[in-house]
Amino acid sequence: MNVYEQAHGLAQSIRESEEYKQYQALKVKIDQNPEISSMIKDFERKNMEQQTKQMMGEEMPQDMAQQVQDLYSILMKDPSAAEYLQAEMRFSLMMSDVYKVLAEAVGLGNE
């Protein structure tokens, strides 16, 4: 079996994983609620901006961090948004673990 066939097999295993199935099902549910969907997208955009600034070593304005925290607090009060964000985190963690396994196998990031 060549590398590409194995990669397709891994992709299939990911699609069949409970983490992925739950994440996708909750994403469909969230997408049906435009208000919550918009709030989650805004939260994710601001969170990504914050993380990018941190990685670039830029000073992060206090109000930006507070906005992200405030949005997160609001979203966690909504059961469907909280469930979605938790499923997204579990899926992201699984994908991160898969990447670590692959990176370790080829010696990336061990310097």
CATH code of 27's domain? 1.20.1500
Residue 110 lies in a domain: no
Number of compact structural domains in the chain = 1
Q: Has residue 12 been placed in a domain?
A: no
Q: Is residue 11 part of a domain?
A: no
Which domain does 33 fall in, by range? 18-105
Phi, psi of 100 (to 5 degrees): -60, -45
Quick one: the chain helix, strand, coil %, rounded to 5? 85, 0, 15
Would 111 be classed as within a structural domain?
no
* Lowest mean per-residue pLDDT among 22-26, 44-48, 63-67: 63-67
Distance from C-alpha of 40 to C-alpha of 30, rounded to nearest angstrom = 9
pTM passes above 0.95: no
Distance CA 50, CA 73 (A): 16
Tell me the C-alpha distance between 29 and 84, whole Å. Answer: 9
In a domain, 24, yes or no: yes
Query: Is residue 9 one of the residues assigned to a domain?
Result: no
pLDDT tens digits for range 54-82: 899 988 788 888 999 999 999 999 999 99
